[in-house]
Structure 1
Amino acid sequence: MERKDFLKGIGLAGAASFIPFSKVLAGSGNAGKPTACTLIPSETAGPFPLDLTANTTFFRQDVREDRQGVQLNLKLKVIGLNNCEAMPNLRVNIWHCDKDGIYSGYNNAQNPGSTTTTFLRGYQMTDANGEVNFVTIFPGWYSGRICHIHFQVFVSSVYAAVSQLSFDVAAKNAVYAANSALYTKGADPMTFNSDNIFSDGYALQMATLTPNSSTGGYDAYLEVTIQGAGTTGLASLEPETGGQFKLGQNYPNPYRGTTTIPFNLVNRSDVKLELFDLAGRKVGEIRRDNMAPGDQQIVVSTADNGMATGNYIYQLQVENSNGIYRQCKMMTAAQ
């Protein structure tokens, strides 16, 4: 199986092309003090977005490639507004400029770069805690915008929440000052009030910034509340399933040793379960041909598939006379 087929199961194939951004599931700006489980403000995707479905290398945690800069370990936690619970199995994209204020994938007067580059862009799926983790660099800044990171949470193949995050001004400029040999442009001259995105409110978009003695860089964290209810993540029937099956969450999750993946088939089908790590590498495959309609399950063993402790994506492929259909979810192998 090609990696592009794996990505289709996450709802990546063509999804970005028909997401109605007029219906993004996010709120409006709020300059007041944030409260628990408050809708993240909706922001523009900016002038430098890319359709991440066009290049499968974007499925990764480490998005740095050849970019120099202070290491930033970024964690986002996605929760549902309806019940303030974690939302697993959602795709989260991030993208931002490098230390000099340049975005990958663009070359124009505002962004003198290259259309063939892919640095500082990537996506992951939220785990059982609703969390995604990325390894990147602390972003620089460019004229007219305060330092920021774009992110997009795909609630399903139809809806997404788009927003941006930033950092405390003094803490951010301290990073630049302490690493002046790298960040040669110096302090960011913008304030939140002068920024055209954050001037109407930014309290809900301020990520924490904590020194990391192990990396010599920083850890950043932001809790992101979007429309929906946490516990189920992706709907049981997505467009990519074609109405042919429902894929459930593995149980137990997290698990030790073995876990069971439940699903329901509408028609008799050949079934393939594939396991991938967070770099998109295939680590295991289980086939079951001619499975009957109704409730079914497949048991996965960490030992049989050489799976170390960590998060993995499982994809169910269902093939029958109606076609081939796929869907993914995330599971966590514990020690």
Structure 2
Amino acid sequence: MKRSQFLKSAGAAFVLPAVWPWAASAQSERSNCVLVPSETPGPFPLDLTENTFFFRQDIREDRAGVPLRQKIRIVGADNCDPMPNVRVNIWHCDRDGDYSGYAAMGSEGQTYCRGYQMTDANGECEFVTIFPGWYPGRTTHVHFQVHVSSQYSVVSQWTWPHAAAVEVATAHSALYPEGPDPLPPSQDGVFTDGFQLQLADLAWDEAAQEYVSHYEATVEGAGVSGVGYQELTTSAHLALGQNFPNPVARATQIPLDLKSAGEVVWSLWSPSGACVVRKDLGMCAPGRTVLDVDFDALGVPAASYLYQVEVFNASGRFSDVKRMTLLK
């Protein structure tokens, strides 16, 4: 799916700009896309890598604020095509400017407004959250990390046009007691080198009673295949293929190539981070194994799911994950 198709897929309930903010900017020497600038992770990052609790679409928890549906698209600079199966972490403050997980803010042990998703075949993922507040010295913003492999990840931030952020707080003043954000991105020290590649759009969806935002980031690598996501250590032991057919109507097959014999466990995860199905497939021999999945028998509802394969062999545990869509 190209950039124009991604915009059209958002629906007609709200108006989006005809082009993305950086469409007319200077092009990268390596491709038709421009690499997103790297930024500081800020004073409040948390490592989500080993905590599958944060694999979730809805990251609001108990935080008050106007609903925001944030759509993100990741493309590769080599060919400007979408990058599927890469992990996108995001974190931001609540309406009062506080981050979860920090004793100084009275939020130690809390986890609101943090989570990660895997991009689908179009390089896209989506979060349900609240529109962030602000705090002194910073404009309204969201931190994000695109984890492509164990050797490469990008940490950056996006923001919105200042007038749009002010309008959110003004139109929903009861939800934002601190008032509108007083600092435009142009006066934020983090964005002093420019922020045109870090601007998301924002529009109100009257039917859904929520704001919808789109942000696209270009990172190093080539799109389409998504092979950059695989850890090098994992690829030495297994290669997990995309299920076919996908989307799925009733049944699908998942190809798995093992480099050596091992115990195989297959699991299915919902966008909220819940394990829906987990099956121990026993010892599998080296070579091609095809996993047959019958969704009629599983009895799960239509949704986008992540499927994971874990392999336990003499060298340890290795896993990979991909996304599928069930239609019913």
Give the TM-score, by structure 2 length.
Answer: 0.86
Which residue in the other structure is 2:67 paired with?
71
* Number of equivalent positions: 303
Contact 1:64 1:135 in 2 (8 A): yes
Letter aligned with residue 178 of structure 1: A
User: Do structure 1's residue 196 and structure 2's residue 192 form an aligned pair?
Assistant: no
Are the structure 2 counterparts of residues 53 and 236 from structure 1 closer, same or farther at C-alpha, using a change threshold of 3 Å? closer
Contact 1:91 1:124 in 2 (8 A): yes
Deviation, 1:168, is: 1.0
Deviation, 1:78, is: 0.8
Which residue in the other structure is 2:272 paired with?
279
Mapped partners of 1:316, 1:230: distance in 2: 23
Deviation, 1:291, is: 2.3
Mapped partners of 2:26, 2:253: distance in 1: 39
Which residue in the other structure is 2:47 paired with?
51
Indicate which of 101, 107, 124 corresponds to 2:97.
101
Are the structure 2 counterparts of residues 117 and 334 from structure 1 closer, same or farther at C-alpha, using a change threshold of 3 Å? same
Mapped partners of 1:125, 1:69: distance in 2: 25
CA displacement 1:109-154 (0-9 Å, x = unmatched): xxx3322211111111111111111111111110000000111110
Which residue in the other structure is 1:37 paired with?
33
Which residue in the other structure is 1:61 paired with?
57
User: Do structure 1's residue 319 and structure 2's residue 312 form an aligned pair?
Assistant: yes
Deviation, 1:237, is: 5.3
The residue correspondences of 1:1-335 to structure 2 (distance < 5 A) are 33=25, 37-53=33-49, 55-108=51-104, 112-235=105-228, 238-239=231-232, 241=234, 243-335=236-328
Contact 1:93 1:122 in 2 (8 A): yes
Which runs of no fewer than 5 residues in structure 2 stay unpaired?
A: 1-21
CA displacement 1:34-56 (0-9 Å, x = unmatched): 76632111111011111124644
Mapped partners of 1:236, 1:222: distance in 2: 20
Q: Secondary structure at the match of 2:122?
A: coil
Letter aligned with residue 247 of structure 2: P
Mapped partners of 1:198, 1:230: distance in 2: 27
Contact 1:264 1:294 in 2 (8 A): yes
Name whichever of 239-248 and 72-81 sits farther off.
239-248
Deviation, 1:96, is: 0.5
Q: Which runs of 4+ in 1 moved over 4 A?
A: none
Give the TM-score, by structure 1 length.
Answer: 0.84
Contact 1:265 1:295 in 2 (8 A): yes
Aligned residues with identical type, % of pairs: 47
- Over aligned residues, Cα RMSD in angstroms? 2.1
Which residue in the other structure is 1:11 paired with?
none
